[in-house]
Chain A
Amino acid sequence: MQAIGLTFVDWLIIAIYFGFVLGIGFYLRGYTKTEEDFFLAGRKNSAWVAGLAFLSANLGALELLGMTGNTYKYGVYVAHFYWIGAIPAMLFLGIYMMPFYYSSRIKSIPGYLKLRFDEKTRVLNGVSFGVMTLLVSGINLYAMALVLHTFLGWNWDASMLASAVTVALYVTMSGLMSAIFTEIIQFFLIWFGLFLVSILGIIDIGGVNEVFSRIPEAFSKLWSTSGDPTQNGMMVTWGGIVLGLGFVLSFGYWTTDFLVVQRALSAKDLRSARMTPILVSFFKMAVPFIVIMGGLIALALARDPGTGFALLQDGGKINYDSALPMLIARYYPPGLVGLGVTALLAGFMAGQAGNISAFNTVWTYDIYHSVFNKKASPQNLLWMGRAATLAGIVLSVGTAYWAKSFPSIMDYMQAIFSWVNAPLFATMLLGMFVKWITPNGAFWGLIAGMGSSFTMFLAVKFSWIDPRFITMSSVQSDMAANFWRAWWAWLVCFGVTIVISLFTKKKPDEELVGLVKGLTPETLGQPVPLLRRPGFWAVLSLIILVALNIWFW
């Protein structure tokens, strides 16, 4: 089953891209002298560089293909992942949380937990984040090989190993610096490589209004079908969207997942670090113009038999992930096909590099340096970072083969996020804004939150309980279960942390200065013009978010 045929020039473009990322890794190696260069890209990036890397680390091809396919399946409802499911959390990170992260000079999120609470909470989060990152990294690798195999007919093992070796080489050479460089190149390749699909699709169908007129009316609605779960394909009510996705999963991911926060920490100063997620929020709101529009175009074409357009089928079932590759096959002539495939490859490899660079930092600082070798020299840490990169890639390849045995990878990815990120957001929120939260409260709250999420996952999977107890709805879907499980895990962590903190010893106030609101002096600094203030751009972003939600209500 080969959907896309490649010509010589397409192969040449793909080869140039591979040569380019390796060349960048080699070039940057000469500038990676210290551990701070390797793990935090020297803390000298502008808000634009840190911001585009922040967005790209999340914008993997798995997301591009998956979300376009989901739009084909569920319609505009999928835009919740990009708007309410991302923007408020990004703005909260920039306005309220970044001052604590950046000013405390931490090198990782578990590093903040060590300063705010204690060593055991740091190690618990370091280990759980490390495991989660390797799982996600392996799943990315598996998904890439799957796409190349399915759509291009490439050998499964060879395509996976080629990308794993490429990522291993350039991340080992120059760490976060080369990861950030390739993520930014990926950002441009995705826009240049895939936005044209939407443009040509709109021209082909006869305008945006014509696209919407050819799809079911419920598929063009964002909120008006959320009151009744049977009316939207995801079977999720507004409660699940707001509490599960918009609050817990979104804030848990965008404000505590070190994979993305690490990019903001590479900024050259606090203002740039705060501007990083705020600036990116505008681009994040625009991503639906590729994925949502692409999915709607594919649906509109497929509903008209005259177009001859159809998605691929696997064993009689529609392969929704084939929507974007099939649009590329429909519209892209030679040359552009190479660009489109390169954009997908760049997305996969940048996502993989993002996971590995976050893993090597957390392993080196929060597990190796914290538990095994407290007296490690900076040179030893740099060496360990490079060794952890190679080990992480090898483990990811193993995880990829393991993921191959699962029937549904998206299900497991969402489940992994709800086990680790959702409860951690409760710990972070309480830790940053309530000074009497204790180290033992945080540790046991995190254990209870992660444990409850995992238990709920098993209970639903093996039918120990009726899923209605978790989703509070008469209809069921995996998505609804993920959203609601994340909410309950957050609530359990929040409650247990508060209760245990009431009865255990708190840290002295003087140890919490700079880490907790109320004990940290507000640094006003030099007055800056309105256009350079993070608050101004955050308000503007919020206004656009509200307008988009009303427009597609």
Chain B
Amino acid sequence: MNEQTEPKEQKKMRPIWYFVGLVLLTIGVLVLLTGIYMLAFGIKSPTALAGLHPNIWWGAIMVVAGAVFFFKNR
């Protein structure tokens, strides 16, 4: 069979960990930015322990975890 007539090989499927990274990274960035925005503009949440700004540090943890999954499996 001529090389040019060979069917084009299917692109390799991305591993699931790539998608896990993408989801965690996207949502983590949104959570982190929301926390930073609230802190910067002095917007107080009525929730308990709001002074700990959990959306900042938890969002940051998600960003780091998501980035590791995403970039290691890109």
Contacts and interface: CB of A to CB of B under 8 A. Distances in A.
A16 B48 contact: no
Contacts of A9: 30, 34
Contacts of A30: 10
A335 B62 CA distance: 12
B58 A204 contact: no
Contacts of B35: 333, 335
Given A181-B16, A188-B20, A200 B54 contact: yes
Contacts of B68: none
Nearest to B31: A335
Contacts of A335: 30-31, 34-35, 55, 59
Given A188-B23, A192-B62, A331 B16 contact: no
A24 B52 contact: no
A22 B62 CA distance: 22
Contacts of A290: none
B38 A333 contact: yes
B73 to A, nearest CB: 12
A61 interface: no
A333 B50 contact: yes
Given A31-B10, A31-B13, A336 B58 contact: yes
Interface in B24-74: 24, 26-27, 30-31, 34-35, 38, 45, 47-50, 52-55, 58-59, 61-62, 65
Contact of B24 (A192, A196, A200): A192
Contacts of A334: 34, 38, 45, 55
Nearest to A45: B16
A333 B24 contact: no
A21 to B, nearest CB: 9
Contacts of A180: 16
A86 to B, nearest CB: 24
Contacts, number: 90
A335 B57 CA distance: 12
A181 B17 CA distance: 9
A342 B31 CA distance: 13
B23 A200 contact: no
Contact of B27 (A31, A196, A329, A342): A342
A515 interface: no
B23 A20 contact: yes
B48 A336 contact: no
Contacts of B19: 20, 24, 181, 185
B42 to A, nearest CB: 14
Contacts of A388: none
A123 to B, nearest CB: 35
Interface string A41-84: 00000000100000000000000000000000000000000000
The interface centre, meaning the residue of B13, B22, B53 with most chain A CB atoms within 10 A of its CB, is: B13
Interface string A199-212: 01001100000000
B48 A204 contact: yes
A243 to B, nearest CB: 39
A24 B35 CA distance: 29
A30 to B, nearest CB: 7
Given A181-B16, A203-B49, A336-B54, A16 B34 contact: no
Contacts of A16: 26-27, 30
Contacts of B31: 13, 335-336, 338-339
A357 to B, nearest CB: 16
A523 B59 CA distance: 48
Interface in A328-346: 329-336, 338-339, 342
Nearest to A12: B30
Contacts of A333: 34-35, 38, 45, 47, 50, 53-55
Q: Which interface residue of A27, A30, A189, A192 has the most chain B CB atoms within 10 A?
A: A192
A196 B35 CA distance: 15
- Residue among B23, B24, B45 having the largest count of chain A Cβ atoms under 10 Å: B23
Interface in A195-237: 196, 200, 203-204
B32 to A, nearest CB: 8
17 contacts: A13-B30, A17-B23, A24-B19, A192-B27, A192-B58, A200-B52, A203-B49, A331-B48, A333-B34, A333-B38, A333-B50, A333-B53, A334-B45, A336-B31, A336-B55, A338-B27, A338-B30
4 closest Cβ contacts across the A-B interface? A335-B34, A333-B45, A335-B31, A335-B55
Given A200-B52, A333-B47, A333-B53, 6 more contacts: A16-B26, A16-B27, A27-B14, A332-B47, A333-B35, A338-B30
